[in-house]
Structure 1
Amino acid sequence: MHLLREGQFSVAATFLSEMAEKKAAEKKQANTANATENAASILDIDEVPSGEVRKQFATMYYILHEMKENNNLLPAIQWARDNDEALASRGSNLEFELCRLQFVWLFHGAHEQQGPTPAGRQAALEYARREFHGFLPRYLREVQQLMGAMAFSPNLQDSPYRSIFNNPSAWSDVAHSFTREFCSLLGLSADSPLYIAATAGAIALPTLLKLQTIMKAKRTEWTTENELPVEIPLPPSYLFHSIFVCPVSKEQTTDENPPMMMPCGHVIAEESLKRLCKGSRFKCPYCPSESHPREARKVFL
């Protein structure tokens, strides 16, 4: 799956082929010809469950190639229109981002790339008349900015619209938005889980090695299962869900030890709750309120 997500389709096909050959060898089939035939039948990546995923990613990489190498936004715009209902349900503005960049590209002279020539401005104006009417209810202000820039075309550098028409990262930004939305419709994250796990591990490794040295010097051991001994600061983009640390035990809650909210509104871990109450009414460790353990409610983050 990682190879498919990275566009390495031939490598993925070779990987599946070698897997098939290994499985055939493990079965120790008497007829070598049949074993080779069975391995070859699985060589075609379309025959495995990931075949449809491969086709989807092949489409994505084709559109990205057209976008990055040929400055061709039309395949991406068409894909956004074919999936407009799904994108709208997500509140996505991908189609407008693509059409706005297409307008800017035409405004700057498109293929000629020699500045805002009259032909380029005329082509951009015709494109806006043809395509932007559907965006007016939601993006009226943005469309007005694009039209207003026409009056400043001789001196865009000093105009209020400089950031729109002179944005060096515009193409990479819209490519990233497209990748994110494409993967989201497949139910996948924009980044490969293997890449995320490896990167997070690389970030955590120096801290864990330092901790190992300290624990060896103090002759102590790490005894907590399914939990890191220290907090690892990861980038905000790597924080995928809420985390609750019990203020009493100082341990992170889990599915087996979920956070529990008492009637007073304070939240502690279930194991801490059981230790405090001992089956009867108990006082909240953070306020004077008393409650019974059966009154506590499980918190879902």
Structure 2
Amino acid sequence: MDAIQAEFDRLNNKSNLSKAVTDIDKCIALLENARNQIAQEPSSRGMTLARLQQSVNSQLEKVGGDHKEVYTALNRYGKALDKKFKAASAFSSSDYDALSNEGHLINRAIAMHLIREGQFTVASKFVQEAGDLDIPPELQDEFVEMYQILKAMKEQRDLDPAIAWARQKARQLEQRGSNLEFDLCKLQFVAMFVNGMDGRKHAMEYARREFGRFQDKHLKEVQMLMTAFLYTDNLQQSPYGRPFLEPEKTWEDVAHSFTKEFCSLLGLSAQSPLYLAATAGAIALPTLLKMTSIMKEKKTEWTSQNELPVEIPLPPSYHFHSIFVCPVSKDQTTEENPPMMLPCGHVIALESLQRLARSGSAPSLKCPYCPKESTLAQAKQVII
């Protein structure tokens, strides 16, 4: 990667481009001066144009030299990339053909990504040119509403549209166990409270009007909010002053929570799957290219179809479900090979448990991690 970085630094060097811009600016200045001279003294037109031609040609030669250095660096950078990632050629043409056969799904993922990101004009044009992608037309209307609410929340600090939406969807949110409506009302209270004496008065009226219906589920939090009136002069001393002292973070958290719940009610994840897949692929690509190159040299192939040959470390935000790796076989458990807990509390995969049961002559089997014995029927499946 050092060679690529060196060529990239050479390509990214602003001195050559700056020189070219400076030389072009000089050409423009020469032309403007010549125009002014001709306007003031029309009789000197021939002499001025002769001098201008020589000066402009000289400046253009400098610009050409500057551009030549940039083009040379760009050419070297491309060659360095081809040399470094030549292992990519290990992928056969059939792999690319298989990918092209999934063009419909890829186009749909791109269109969904554009809609989710609020690029509605681009998404409409893309869908029009890509053909029928089976995307409900009302889905874009839903995301238009979401972005309108988010814009009011982030730019205008207006929570009324979000609260109205949460109350409209109260039953669905309650079924999900969501606290979105209360979080929005709580933030509305905080926004009023920090707005001076009149704000605290409005906050008290708002709390009396709105917080009553949240008492069954959020009584403790309501009580903590109301203690702010005891620390009006110095909220820093309040043990419950965090929502009032970190307003920006609170707004960001509530906006993220709103986006998550809005997408969940549409049956979608809070983040674009295309973005997540592309980012995870970019993280994994160097390792996979290296593995491909090694296997090509050793003339070996991947033996697993549903998992990668090496572990790819991804950020915690990319861990979407819990996994369990059997401590005996070192294999990750699946639906066909679930984790099983023995009476002693140790957990191993079902296949490992069955092998232990078959290996002994007695009806009982010994736990591989403690002296306790049990039977295969006593093991219970663990749901993670």
Would you say same fold, with TM above 0.5?
yes
Of the three residues 318, 321, 326, the one matched with 1:241 is 321
The residue aligned with 2:118 is: 7
Structure 2 unaligned segments of length 5 or more: list them.
Answer: 1-111
Q: How does 1:97-112 map to 2 (within 5 A)?
A: 97-109=183-195
TM-score computed with the length of structure 2 as normaliser? 0.60
Structure 1 residue 142: Cα displacement: 2.1
Q: Sort the Cα spacing of 1:263 and 1:125 in 2 relative to 1 into closer, same or farther, 3 A.
A: closer
Q: How many residues align?
A: 267
User: Which region of structure 1 is more displaced relative to structure 2, 206-215 or 177-186?
Assistant: 206-215
Q: Sort the Cα spacing of 1:201 and 1:134 in 2 relative to 1 into closer, same or farther, 3 A.
A: same
Q: How does 1:189-228 map to 2 (within 5 A)?
A: 189-212=269-292, 221-228=301-308
Of the three residues 3, 16, 21, the one matched with 2:127 is 16
- Paired residues of 1:106 and 1:124 also in contact (CA < 8 A): yes
Structure 1 residue 9: Cα displacement: 1.4
Q: How does 1:129-208 map to 2 (within 5 A)?
A: 129-167=208-246, 168-208=248-288
Return the letter of the residue paired with 1:14: K
Structure 1 residue 173: Cα displacement: 0.7
TM-score computed with the length of structure 1 as normaliser? 0.75
Q: CA RMSD in A?
A: 3.2
**Deviation digits for residues 125-154 of structure 1 (CA, Å, limit 9, x no counterpart):** 221222111122222232223222123222
Structure 1 residue 17: Cα displacement: 0.6
Structure 1 unaligned segments of length 5 or more: list them.
Answer: 21-41, 110-115
Return the letter of the residue paired with 2:143: F
Aligned partners of 1:191 and 1:172: how far apart in 2? 15
- Paired residues of 2:295 and 2:301 also in contact (CA < 8 A): yes
Structure 1 residue 77: Cα displacement: 0.5
The residue aligned with 1:57 is: 143
Whether 1:267 aligns to 2:331 is no
Percent identity of paired positions between Structure 1 and Structure 2: 55
**Deviation digits for residues 203-243 of structure 1 (CA, Å, limit 9, x no counterpart):** 32344345456656766543222211222232333222232
Q: Sort the Cα spacing of 1:272 and 1:93 in 2 relative to 1 into closer, same or farther, 3 A.
A: closer
**Deviation digits for residues 62-120 of structure 1 (CA, Å, limit 9, x no counterpart):** 111110111110010111111112212222211111111111111222xxxxxx2x222
Q: Sort the Cα spacing of 1:263 and 1:18 in 2 relative to 1 into closer, same or farther, 3 A.
A: same
Whether 1:250 aligns to 2:330 is yes
Q: Sort the Cα spacing of 1:220 and 1:269 in 2 relative to 1 into closer, same or farther, 3 A.
A: farther
Aligned partners of 1:248 and 1:84: how far apart in 2? 47
SS at match of 2:322: coil
The residue aligned with 1:86 is: 172
More helix by share: 2
Q: Sort the Cα spacing of 1:142 and 1:251 in 2 relative to 1 into closer, same or farther, 3 A.
A: closer
- Paired residues of 1:258 and 1:299 also in contact (CA < 8 A): no
**Deviation digits for residues 246-273 of structure 1 (CA, Å, limit 9, x no counterpart):** 3343222344x42364876753343883
Return the letter of the residue paired with 1:81: R
The residue aligned with 1:35 is: none
- Paired residues of 2:153 and 2:255 also in contact (CA < 8 A): yes
The residue aligned with 1:23 is: none
